[in-house]
Chains A and B, each alone.
Chain A
Amino acid sequence: MKHLLSIEDLDRPAIERIVTQAERFAEVSDREIKKVPALRGRMVLNLFYEASTRTRSSFELAAKRLSADVVNFAASGSSVEKGESLKDTVLTLSAHKPDAIVLRTPWAGAAELVSGWCSAAIVNAGDGKHEHPTQALLDVYTLRRRLGQIDGASIWIVGDVAHSRVARSNIIAFQRMGAKVTIAGPPTLIPRGIEQLGCDVRFTLDQLDSADIVYALRMQRERMSETWVPSLREYAGCYQINGRRLSPHQLLMHPGPVNRGVELSGEVADSPQAVITAQVEAGVVVRMAVLYELLAAARQAPPLSGRSQLADAAAAVATGQLA
């Protein structure tokens, strides 16, 4: 595996391999010294065109626990604001020879585009409303830890599917792992044609009780000004996951950050059925597994073009491969 651009590119064995590797790394997080030398001397560049605290820090922590060097590059306050194109920014930063670039942008397909411009491994940390593959992987990890397996589970993804990259990646990932996916939300926020991904579509939560797992999506307040829904109050009335709607046999997931009182009531967010903090925890180990898969596991031969043999040799020495 050279890049992680979308869940679409991963078959079930690839998803299971990453999740299994993450389970091994989970043990590291419980140690007093939470660090292994797997990626010593490697450089991971976080290139973020959107504000993101949790995803960026999760990747940063993952890279550091693998002993990689981390450089964070945020688009605000940078050359990007001076009008530099994505391509020029990537080419400029590539001069520092990062081994991996973790990329978050508001544009669909940006990660794939960047993968053609440089030799680094590209990790898509969210490209517009398209995909967020590491979120899907950490959700699969969380469910597998909790349930053992996902095969045959009924998963309902509820809320603003139209603007959600999480929904798109998870519809694909959950189905690949054998789950049955239903999406539910206001008709204005369910994209026409989404059922062709293989999921069922509902506009009410009347049948929610049939779900084993309820995955609530964040309802962004700016959708109101764009009149996707008449009011947050009405939205909450129709689609909020609360004690009345959530059955005791169901697990509750959410990609965060939670809008309490909108898509979730406080009582269910804090209930033992909610695995929201487990998802956050899973983020670090799953991203460790992804970086490990891209930079250590599958990199026997040095495929990096434009790098001198001397640099490769130095890298090999640094990672102990010549020892």
Chain B
Amino acid sequence: MSAVQRMTIGLQRPAELLLREVRVLDPRAGIDAVHDVRISDGRIVELGAPATIAADHDEELIEGHGRLALLPAFFDPHVHLRTPGQEHKEDLATGTRAAAAGGFAGVIAMPNTDPVLDSAPLLRSLRDAAAREARISVGFLAAITRGLEGEQLTEMAELREQGALGFSDDGRPVHSAGMLRKALQYQRLCGGVLALHEEDPTLSRGGSMNEGAVSAALGIGGIPTVAESTMVARDAALAGYEDARVHFQHLSCAASVDAVADAKARGFRVSAEVTPHHLLLTDEEVRGMDTRMKMHPPLTSEADRQALIEGLRAGIIDCVATDHAPHARDEKEVPFEQAPMGTTGLETAFAALHTGLVLPGVMPLEMLVTRMTAGAGLFELPTPMIARDELASVTLVDLEAEFIAGEDGWQSRSENCCFGERPLQGRVLLTLAGGAEAHRRLELAGAGAA
């Protein structure tokens, strides 16, 4: 089975569109210029100089006026779609709708569902459901250990045959080095990237936030950053020893970036991701004990945040992932220490990073687009390109549009977004996934039509 066949998307009508005078920016295709783009039967069929392509009768015309930017659609290798078992938080339809609203055409769902995605029949039924409900491409990671309990490997080969894109015990670490080593060895048989949530529970136990001045002042148990970085270093060593392919999830501190840099310098086959919230927020946000600021790993210090930004710029961290983790309102409306960990992120990722990193000049837009699309390649999937004959997986963004996050509500079933109520700039107007329209903001209809 090819990697692409492991992705599932619901059937939708192919798009017929003419985008006139849009800024086409695709670093992989080497384009950053104003163009006319014709999409017919879901494919990019023409890519010409601005105002040179005339509209046909059967297609919709969208005028970009040089202000709207057409980007390759983003890819998120780390989301929680909460299905099966926790559909009150999110399901395949609402989760992929939220993703499309954020400009994503592909996501990878984590297996910490209820029941845990650790058997082939469950994976089969999930993929069937995604073929009916998913607006964008969804891939599934299966659990590394049964029930995420860290004691017995899942039937990894059989799960791969049923379409598992890879494996993860996300939400929990594989605490036993011996168990992880067996999984890495088994990867030789069945392939599939192992995505690792790194945390030493003997160091993190009792903690609800980052350890430091803020946790000391609030009297909330602290999680030291070494709870993550020591495990990154351990598992990088194991991956090197077994020549295995591992991906480190949601890095949160400087020491973890150093550990990944060291592993890469040694030629180990490792990659890493970082979330928008770890790139933009610090544990100072927790002072108000807002439960939207409680996530796993926790928000860390300013020095750690700077190291993460630098790691992402240098390519030590390969891609952005949101770790979109929806929770119902009543689950988050409790005292901080009682609240579940997680923030939603799909709908705000691009706008938040554009506002927080691109506009202040910390990172050029091309680099942000590269890092927000690189996740696909890490899981052996093709990255969408804006080029002739390609199936259109693109997102149209108004880089000037300012808005308040969440002001029109959320596409996700949950609203626990750490960027909620913040002013952001850079709004996704339209997303095509696999050639079909997956998201459109209402104001776009008519506004640009001839």
Contact = CB atoms under 8 A, between A and B. Distances in A.
Interface stretch (B19-27, B119-127, B330-338): B330-338
| Pairs A-B, 10 closest by C-beta atoms | A107-B335, A129-B219, A109-B289, A193-B213, A196-B213, A193-B216, A191-B216, A130-B219, A194-B216, A110-B335
Contacts of A246: none
Interface in A118-170: 127-131, 164-165, 168
A191 B215 contact: yes
Nearest to B205: A226
A193 B214 contact: yes
Contacts of A299: none
B219 A197 contact: no
A196 B222 CA distance: 15
A131 B220 CA distance: 11
B212 interface: yes
Nearest to A226: B206
Nearest to B214: A193
B217 interface: yes
A58 interface: no
B334 A192 contact: no
A108 B211 contact: no
Given A109-B289, A112-B289, A191-B222, A197 B217 contact: yes
A284 B289 CA distance: 30
Helix, strand, loop or mixed for chain A's interface?
A: mixed
Interface string A165-202: 10010000000000000000000000111101100000
Interface in B213-239: 213-222, 224
A74 interface: no
A315 interface: no
Contact of B333 (A87, A164, A191, A197): A87
Contacts of B335: 86, 105, 107-110, 113, 127-128
Contacts of B212: 192-193
Interface of B: 211-222, 224, 289, 330, 333-338
B224 to A, nearest CB: 8
Contact of B219 (A112, A131, A196): A131
A87, A108, A128, A131: residue with the most chain B Cβ atoms closer than 10 Å: A108
Nearest to B338: A107
A85 interface: yes
A129 B330 CA distance: 24
B337 A196 contact: no
Contacts of B221: 129
A124 B333 CA distance: 18
A165 B216 contact: no
9 contacts: A86-B335, A108-B336, A113-B289, A113-B335, A127-B335, A128-B337, A129-B220, A192-B211, A197-B216
A113 B14 CA distance: 49
B348 to A, nearest CB: 24
Contacts of A164: 219
Interface in A236-287: none
Contacts of B211: 191-193
A127 B330 CA distance: 20
Contacts of B336: 107-109
Interface in A73-113: 85-87, 105, 107-110, 112-113
A128 B218 CA distance: 9
B241 to A, nearest CB: 33
Contacts of A131: 219
Interface residues of A, number: 24
A197 B338 CA distance: 25
Given A192-B224, A196-B213, 6 more contacts: A130-B219, A191-B216, A192-B211, A193-B211, A193-B215, A194-B217
A112 B224 CA distance: 26
Contacts of A168: 217, 219
Nearest to B339: A107
B215 A165 contact: no
A197 B336 CA distance: 21
A165 B213 contact: no
A2 B444 CA distance: 47
A85 B221 CA distance: 22
B136 to A, nearest CB: 35
A64 to B, nearest CB: 29
B330 A85 contact: yes
A127 B338 CA distance: 13
A197 B211 CA distance: 15
A131 B217 CA distance: 9
Contacts of A109: 218, 289, 335-336
Contacts of B334: 85-87, 107, 113
A103 to B, nearest CB: 11
A131 B216 CA distance: 12
Contacts of A113: 289, 334-335
A3 B211 CA distance: 29
A108 B216 contact: no
Contacts of A110: 335
B213, B216, B219, B333: residue with the most chain A Cβ atoms closer than 10 Å: B219
Contacts of B217: 168, 193-194, 196-197
A108 B289 contact: yes
A43 to B, nearest CB: 24
A113 B336 CA distance: 9
B333 A130 contact: no
Contacts of B224: 192
A208 B16 CA distance: 80
Nearest to B333: A87
Contacts of A192: 211-212, 216, 222, 224
A263 to B, nearest CB: 19
Nearest to A163: B219
A107 B337 contact: yes
Nearest to B290: A109
Contacts of B215: 191, 193
A87 to B, nearest CB: 6
Nearest to B206: A226
A220 to B, nearest CB: 14
A193 B221 CA distance: 12
A35 to B, nearest CB: 36
A191 B334 CA distance: 25
Nearest to A87: B333
Nearest to A131: B219
Contacts of B337: 107-108, 128
Contacts of A112: 289
A252 B333 CA distance: 41
Nearest to A192: B211
Contacts of B338: 107
Given A85-B330, A87-B334, A130 B220 contact: yes
